[in-house]
Structure 1
């Protein structure tokens, strides 16, 4: 019978791309990871990885085994959750990832409510990004993340993860309060051809912004590149340029700015909570998810939770 611990090792190798990196994640020595892999290949009776230089890729058999490992880990987490009872109380450490400068205030409200309800639980917040958050949960670096997603609201079927949409808000053009468009009911992308732009080039929203400009027939004249939406909005408030951002993202500055719709742009930002599949059966994790979703359904500020 295949050893679950060896399957976890293979999964880490697949995720990290090398034996050394997998060892760092698992807190094993490189030789220990190599030994686990060799033993697993012996048990499986076939090669599971293709070693090319320092980088490792999985063989078809290896990929198939990792897919099974994901399902096995879900069942193990579910089994562990079934051993927990509410009588034990909601204690222990909960690691939550949030994009601090990007999310609407619903995120801070939800986490504040979780702390109020479960005062015996240690909640440790960690800064993450919309792009990296889900992967951090999958690798067990975080227990839960609340991130943003753009476009369709439907849940993704990422192996080993479970998610719920909390709410949504539309994208808006952000301009300084004294901008000629500040009092307009809307605008077109073509009207923004000669504007200075503040963008987050490494983010999904940043790439979408550049794509909208190119589709409208011009390359954006970028005056600032930043790492998060909150900083971009703050620079807009002090007159540095314009940007596109979700309507409910806090400005992070006292400077005034205007937010207006862009003709033809109906993309929404969806706020999503993500945990490892199986963890949601734990009374502790389930209670936290319920608290976060309950806050997201409050009528203030955001659209309807789902």
Structure 2
């Protein structure tokens, strides 16, 4: 009989593409994942992974087995949902994927509150790009995603995935102290055409929003520095190297060398929780979403 934990390891590799990424998602070491798959190869008498450069690729047999594993994991999830529903209390493991600034600014409070209220719930957090998290929910890799989108760059949930709004996160223009805009209360988008921008890399939600918004105002953004982390962008602004559009969530206290200017109209990104429709009855899901919504007003004010 095939071992479910080993199938889960293979399925994670098929989703994340590498043993290391699969291990991080499962909360294991890469060595443990490799051992699970090696045992599965012996059980099935089949080669499942082949070396490809510095990484690995799944064989055709492995892809077929990973597809079957996803079906089995869905059945297991349904059984767990029914049991938890009967107990009426949030319990068991809950895998949560969240983008970095919410992982820093929202999730610590939420996870602490869940642990206090529901000691039987084992909630585990992983930082995940919002573009990827929704697909990971749909494929059953994580149970719940906290993602964001923008007014002009929405990310609709795919079939089979439900969502609930957590709240709106406001964004500000950050400029170096002494910049001509630093003393302004507000600035319009058309006035930013000559600025040197610090942005996230192409393909991220924030970068796409910046490009679309300024182009719609007749400006071609001149991006001179790219940084994934908001804190890095803030440090670059503090050094006088450009301006940046940075959300408030998880931003923390700004250095004295940085001033905030309101952009008119104020950009907003909407935070949402997403989960598979089949798990909608699970108390762990409903209670986690409720906790996030309860906490959001105080987090947004802070």
* TM-score normalised by length of structure 2: 0.68
TM-superposed CA distance for 1:182, in Å, is 1.8
Residues 91-129 of structure 1: CA distance to partner in whole angstroms, max 9, x if unpaired?
Answer: 432221122236673333222212222334333221111
TM-superposed CA distance for 1:196, in Å, is 1.8
**Residue matched to 2:169:** 169
Confirm or deny: 8 A CA contact 2:84 2:90 kept in the other structure: no
SS in structure 2 of the partner of residue 236 of structure 1: helix
Distance, in Å, in 2 between the alignment partners of 1:282 and 1:118 is 14
Distance, in Å, in 2 between the alignment partners of 1:154 and 1:131 is 11
Q: CA RMSD in A?
A: 4.2
**Residue matched to 2:135:** 135
**Residue matched to 1:6:** none
**Residue matched to 2:263:** 262
SS in structure 2 of the partner of residue 207 of structure 1: helix
Which runs of structure 2 are paired with 1:53-132 in the superposition (5 Å)? 80-85=80-85, 87=87, 90-101=90-101, 105-132=105-132
Distance, in Å, in 2 between the alignment partners of 1:148 and 1:103 is 12
**Residue matched to 2:223:** 222
Confirm or deny: 8 A CA contact 2:90 2:282 kept in the other structure: no
**Residue matched to 1:21:** none
SS in structure 2 of the partner of residue 187 of structure 1: strand
* TM-score normalised by length of structure 1: 0.67
TM-superposed CA distance for 1:242, in Å, is 0.6
Moved more, 28-37 or 278-287: 28-37
**Residue matched to 2:147:** 147
Q: CA 1:199–1:35 in structure 2 vs 1: closer, same or farther (change >3 Å)?
A: closer
Confirm or deny: 8 A CA contact 2:176 2:182 kept in the other structure: yes
**Residue matched to 2:246:** 245
TM-superposed CA distance for 1:153, in Å, is 11
Q: CA 1:213–1:84 in structure 2 vs 1: closer, same or farther (change >3 Å)?
A: closer
How many equivalent pairs are there?
259
**Residue matched to 1:196:** 196
**Residue matched to 1:293:** 293
SS in structure 1 of the partner of residue 136 of structure 2: helix
Which runs of structure 2 are paired with 1:268-283 in the superposition (5 Å)? 268-283=268-283
TM-superposed CA distance for 1:256, in Å, is 4.7
SS in structure 1 of the partner of residue 124 of structure 2: strand
- Structure 1 segments of 4+ aligned residues over 6 angstroms from their partners: 34-37, 73-76, 152-155
Q: Which runs of 5+ in 1 are unaligned?
A: 1-11, 19-23, 41-68
Confirm or deny: 8 A CA contact 2:187 2:263 kept in the other structure: yes
Structure in which a larger fraction of residues adopt helix: 2
SS in structure 1 of the partner of residue 187 of structure 2: coil
**Residue matched to 1:50:** none
Distance, in Å, in 2 between the alignment partners of 1:262 and 1:166 is 23
TM-superposed CA distance for 1:150, in Å, is 0.8
TM-superposed CA distance for 1:274, in Å, is 1.3
Q: CA 1:151–1:83 in structure 2 vs 1: closer, same or farther (change >3 Å)?
A: same
Distance, in Å, in 2 between the alignment partners of 1:34 and 1:300 is 43
Confirm or deny: 8 A CA contact 2:150 2:209 kept in the other structure: no
